[in-house]
Homo-oligomer: A and B are copies of this chain.
Amino acid sequence: MQRTTRPYHHGQLREALVAAGFDLARKSGPDAVVLRAVSRATGVSHNAAYRHFVDHQDLLNAVADRCMRELADLMQRRVAEVRVRDAQRRARAEVRAIGRAYVEFALAEPGLFRTAFACVPVEGDDLPVDRPPEAAQPGPYELLSGALDRAVEVGLMAAERRPGAEYAAWSVVHGLSMLFVEGPLRALPAAEREHAIDIALDVVARGL
C-alpha cells in the first residue's frame, strides 16, 4: 500500500479521512475532528475532502458513526465472552456485560465515546438517505434491547417490566459514563469508581 510516490489519485481517500478523524477523536475528542487537521493527517490538501463529504458536519457524522460502531463491537465482544450455562444466569450475565462494556468503553476511550455522542443522528429518525450496509449492523441500543428481550424469554425478567426497561438501563450506564468521563466525578479514584459502577449496575439489575 505505502508507495514512495503517492499517486495523484488516492483511491481510498474517504476511508483514509475517516480513519484520520477517528485517530484525532481518540486522542482529543470531537472538537479535534476538523477538516483541516484531518486532511493534514492524511497528507492531502485541505479541500480534497470536499470531493467526499459535503460538509465538515458530514465528515464528523462519518467519524461519529465509526466511534459508535466501535462501541457496539466492544459490547458484542464482551457478550461473546460470557461463559455461563444456565439460561437465566446467562441472560443476566449478558445484560450486565453489555452495561459494563458501555462504561468500560467510555473510560478506556473517552475521546471516541464523546465523539460517538457528539453528533449522532437522532434515534428513530429516518436516516438521511441510502446507507444499507452499516445500518444492518446492530448498534448499542439494539444490542441492549436484544439482551433484555432474551432476559424476558428466559423468564429472568417479568414481561410487564420489559417495556421501557432499555431506557432505565441505558440511562444508568450513560450517566455513569458521562459523570466519570467529563463530569464532576472524573477525578474519583479508580477503586471507588469501580465500586460505584458495581453498585449502580446492581441497583438497576434489582429494579428490573
Contact = CB atoms under 8 A, between A and B. Distances in A.
Contact of A208 (B124, B141, B203): B203
A164 B204 contact: no
Contacts of A86: none
A161 to B, nearest CB: 8
A168 B204 contact: yes
Interface stretch (A10-18, A51-59, A87-95, A115-123): A115-123
Interface string A149-178: 000000000000001110110111111101
A51 to B, nearest CB: 29
Copy number of this protein in the oligomer?
2
Residue of A123, A170, A176, A203 with most chain B CB atoms under a 10 A cut-off: A203
Interface residues of A, number: 41
A195 B124 CA distance: 17
Contacts of A77: none
Nearest 7 pairs between A and B by C-beta? Answer: A175-B175, A207-B207, A171-B175, A203-B207, A164-B199, A174-B175, A167-B196
Interface of A: 117, 120-125, 141, 163-165, 167-168, 170-176, 178-179, 182-188, 195-197, 199-200, 202-208
28 contacts: A117-B178, A117-B182, A117-B183, A117-B184, A120-B183, A121-B184, A122-B187, A123-B184, A123-B185, A124-B187, A141-B184, A164-B195, A164-B199, A164-B200, A167-B185, A167-B197, A167-B200, A168-B199, A168-B203, A168-B204, A170-B175, A171-B179, A172-B204, A174-B179, A175-B176, A203-B204, A206-B206, A207-B207
